[in-house]
Every structure is written in structure tokens, then in C-alpha cells.
Structure 1
């Protein structure tokens, strides 16, 4: 009878300090043959500040930093809300919209206040999520996911985080904050980007036995 333990799984570091985002991504990637860990498990790991250039630039910078610090595969995302009435704002600045130190509730309120008086048909919006994957040997890939919706005139629901309470998803007739996590994880921008990232990771694992 054969003895010995099976090979250790390769590690994938989720390069975010946002526990809500880390939890969503870990759940979406949970079926992979990888040990998925948070950035907090990597001693001395730090993330660069986000800039205003693009989602991809921010995601790549974070994933590269995590891959260097951990000598492991790293995944990072940057996401934002793009409102048509605001010319695509807040976009890459979504996490900083309205100023520093604001809560999610404050940002939702600021968004609704800015949209007041604008034609309701222009309250259409989309969430965009860009995921960057970086390996210790220098491989890099970027994928994205987008979901279309409408900004509501008032906060609805208590689930989720960020702008979920004001993002109405027409196919399900609810805001993201009114959906249970499983339902949201089937349709969200982050779910769509994670599905694409999962295919990249499967390819990397398959090509080398393990990354």
C-alpha cells in the first residue's frame, strides 16, 4: 500500500485588506485546487496606494506586491461603479468618492444627492471589476466582469457592502443589498471576473501540475 502525504497545494494570496471583498473572492474561488489565503497571513505584506489611472493598473500593482511578499500566486481586484448621468463617475475613484473617511452609507447618500434633479433614465449604471493575477515567476493576466443596473432613489437592503444598497439589478428586481450572498455571487461583477480568473488559474495549474 502506498504511503506518504499528497503534495501540498499551491497558495493563492488574495491581495486586499477589505474583509468583505476578501470573503467574496475566497467564496468564488473556493473550488480551485489551491490554498486560498488572505493578505493578513503574509508577514510584512503591504499594498501600494490606489491611483486614478485605471482599475487594471491598481489591480496589477496590488497583485505584484502580494506575489513578491509571499512568493506565491496572487490575485487582486479593483472595482468601481460607473453612473451614466455622471459621465462614468465615480469609476476608479469609487472607494474615495465624496472624500476620505466616509462610510459606505455616506457614499451612497452622496451619490443619490448628486443625482437628484437629473433625468431618471440617466440613472443607469454598471459595476465593473478588474482582476489581476500574478505568479512568482512573472506571469500576469488581467480579466474583468461587468454587470448592468440602475441607481435607486433611496437605500434598499442591508446586505452586501459599498454601493450595493443603491444598485438595482433588473433581472432579479432587487438591489444587490437585498440579495442573499449566494444569489449575488451568481450575477455580480466580481463573480463574473472571478469566473474568468478561475479559468486562468486552472490553465496555470494544468500547465505545470501546480503553479
Structure 2
């Protein structure tokens, strides 16, 4: 019987990313579920000051509501010239949660007069695992790069089309999914969480 793991998201791309990472690390027997696969429960708003606190709160809510081991992440874009913002406000930077195009355009407008050498940024992801009555773990992954002036690419979501990772000429939205898994902030955070996830199969 497979071990079930709830990823507290309705984002299909995040679900597929975690499934690919688990399969690559020999954990393909773990069945990854999303929020659409379980009964609805009240989800607390993301109001904490850090990615880590938000991720842990989401994972805790999901685990307590379903009884399943739950992973949650909180991620965003930290722009040097904006003093680390949008940060935890990345998903609602333009005012409406999940308005990717509006968020992206607002960041570009705020950086319009910023010279290329000062357009450094990082994608940040905190990932948390909560196993009911057993364990809580939180890890962090960062992906450094720069913000370009016009979007490029159709892969990914959010700010991917304007973020060029260090050592790359392509944006995050121009990378193939497997390439992104191996280097991205979320990929790094999820891989750092794998030792804790692996324990689920050893009970």
C-alpha cells in the first residue's frame, strides 16, 4: 500500500513538480494528493511575516484537518532594489491574490529606472512538513538571479518570465520542467525536505 502525502495546494504544476522529484529520488511509492483530492477545510490566510511561518501554518492546518502528512510551501520573489519586496506579499503584490500578470507588471514598473547592474533578485521558498502527532520540519531554498525588462517564456508561472537565474541566459519560464526542478528555489527546498519525507515510508 502506498504512503499518501498531501501537498497543500491546488496548483497542478506544484503537484507535478513534487511527484517528479519524489520519483527521481526513488520515492515513487508515495502518492501525492492535492487539496482538490480531499474534503474542503477552512484555510487560514497567509498573514505571517516570513515564508517559514506561512508554510508551517499551511502544513499544520492541512495535516490537522485531514490526518495526513502534509507538505506546504510559501514562496516569493525578493528584489534587492526593493529592499527584499515583494517577499511574502509576492502573490498579491498588485492587490489581488494570484493576479500573476498584474504582479509581474507592477514589479517591472517599480524597477523601470533601475540600472541592469542593480536588478539582482532571488526566488525564495520555505517548505514545511507536518506529520500528525509525530514531526514538524521547515526548510528553505533560494535561487539567485536578475530581473529583466520584458517577460520571456511560457513555462512556469508567477514571476518566472522576468527572472533569469545566475549562470543562465534564459528566464525561468524558458527552462524545461526537469531543468527547473534541479535548480529552482522550490526544487531546492523540496529536496532538503526529502529526508523527512523518506521517514514516512519507514514506519
Do Structure 1 and Structure 2 share a fold, with TM-score over 0.5?
Answer: yes
Determine if the alignment matches structure 1 residue 176 to structure 2 residue 166: no
Map of 1:48-127 to 2, 5 A cutoff?
Answer: 48-100=44-96, 103-127=99-123
Determine if the alignment matches structure 1 residue 21 to structure 2 residue 17: no
Pair 1:19–1:47, CA change in 2 (3 A): farther
**Aligned partners of 1:29 and 1:101: how far apart in 2?**
29
**How far off its partner does 1:169 sit?**
1.4
| Aligned pairs, number | 200
**How far off its partner does 1:101 sit?**
5.5
Moved over 3 A (4+): none
Unaligned ranges ≥5, structure 2:
none
**How far off its partner does 1:25 sit?**
2.5
Unaligned ranges ≥5, structure 1:
1-7
Q: Secondary structure at the match of 1:60?
A: helix
**Aligned partners of 1:109 and 1:10: how far apart in 2?**
41
Of the two, which has the highest radius of gyration? 1
With the length of structure 1 as denominator, give the TM-score of the two structures. Answer: 0.89
In structure 2, which of residues 143, 147, 150 is the aligned counterpart of residue 151 of structure 1?
147
**Aligned partners of 1:151 and 1:182: how far apart in 2?**
22
